[in-house]
Structure 1
């Protein structure tokens, strides 16, 4: 009986070790595949084939999600292509799964850079602090931290640090713009009304002027009629004697002739004089 128990125990141990060995073998195979995908992604980047590199990195991450290398490298690839949002996500993932300080430091440092690109200075400060906790001697991270703090202070000084304040400020600006627009509309309406009034007034004045002119014209017609009625008939000229009308015409002709002679004399006196012209400027 004891011998049988011993045989069964040995059998179970053997099969258990066999299963573990099989699982380890499968695991090792997956790890090798993930590593191969990483290598292929690196080659694709060197050939400037970003889509292929992205696909290879994703395959490696899917097979071995616990490895931070694929996530970190993919984050760097996104960062170089100025895909800041995607890079931020991958650096966060890399920092979460990294198992040693150097890897955590690099992931947090680059994560801080993505926050700076988005002008999220508060988050950038925290990321750089985490990077320095894992590598206090990195001068570049220390410089970036100082810069992020300075930008954060300036943002808070200008009242832009709180998202609620930003939203309130935006609403106030929109309200002010709308009020200015309403005031402008009211002013335009007032100007339009004044123009209408001026137009009506002008039309009224024109009507009054026309009416007054018509009245004056009407008043003038009877006077003309009266003048025509009061006119006396001209005297008939007698033979051998000039009529008053003929004497008047003769005097006018003599005066006109004298006037023409005087004008010629005056023209000769003023012939060389310069004349200044008036110009409209």
Structure 2
């Protein structure tokens, strides 16, 4: 039994060293800015130990450097459950906030920074990032309000334009109607005038001249 126990401990130690060596290898490649290769090492380390905090945390960093911000955020969320240490959790929340901010999830990033500051209130970088995220959120909200106002203004302009067009159309129809009525009145006046002329001509018709026979 003692021999078996030693063997188990020996095998466990080999796996632990393999995990650490893979993380160390990944860290070296990370420093050399070989982020894809470092990601591979961190994933291999996690294959050896899925509960590795450093493997998960560093994998999140490698993904972040590759601009895979949503994937990085997932790894940082996993890392939170793999450590009870407040200082480590504060760092995870800080990096989580950065990933969410880059992923344009600004309200979520603000919450992450706040959680980081609850664990480490003296972190200047986190304080700065929190204020920056708040500023971005305010700008985003202002932009949405401006866009909404522009949309409403355009809608009102279109409504006024349509109203003006309808009024112009009504005016044109009214003018056409008046012109037609005027034309009918003028025609009727001409007819009446012609009748008057005919009457006058009949009244002034020359008397019939008769020539008497002279015998």
Deviations 1:127-146 (A, max 9, x none): 11111122111011112222
Structure 1 position 28 matched with structure 2 position 6: no
In 2, the alpha carbon distance for the partners of 1:113 and 1:47 equals 22
TM-score when scaled to structure 1?
0.47
Greater Rg, structure 1 or structure 2? 1
Describe the shift of the 1:135–1:77 C-alpha distance in structure 2 as closer, same or farther (beyond 3 A): same
Q: 1:80 aligns with which of 65, 73, 79?
A: 65
Alignment of 1:186-205 (within 5 A): none
In 2, the alpha carbon distance for the partners of 1:144 and 1:93 equals 22
Structure 1 position 116 matched with structure 2 position 124: no
Describe the shift of the 1:77–1:157 C-alpha distance in structure 2 as closer, same or farther (beyond 3 A): same
The one of the two structures with greater contact order (alpha-carbon pairs below 8 A, sep at least 6) is 2
Which residue in 1 is equivalent to 2:30? 45
Cα RMSD (Å):
2.9
Residue 74 of structure 1 contacts residue 87 of structure 1 at CA under 8 Å; is this kept in 2?
Answer: yes
Residue 67 of structure 1 contacts residue 98 of structure 1 at CA under 8 Å; is this kept in 2?
Answer: no
Describe the shift of the 1:23–1:111 C-alpha distance in structure 2 as closer, same or farther (beyond 3 A): same
Q: Alignment length, in residue pairs?
A: 152
Deviations 1:95-137 (A, max 9, x none): 2212311211111101101111122121111111111122111
In 1, the alpha carbon distance for the partners of 2:54 and 2:42 equals 9
Task: Give the unaligned 5+ runs of structure 1.
Answer: 1-14, 161-168, 177-281
Which residue in 2 is equivalent to 1:128? 113
Residue 19 of structure 2 contacts residue 49 of structure 2 at CA under 8 Å; is this kept in 1?
Answer: yes
Structure 1 position 139 matched with structure 2 position 124: yes
TM-score when scaled to structure 2?
0.60
Which residue in 2 is equivalent to 1:93? 78
In 2, the alpha carbon distance for the partners of 1:116 and 1:149 equals 10
Task: Give the unaligned 5+ runs of structure 2.
Answer: 156-215
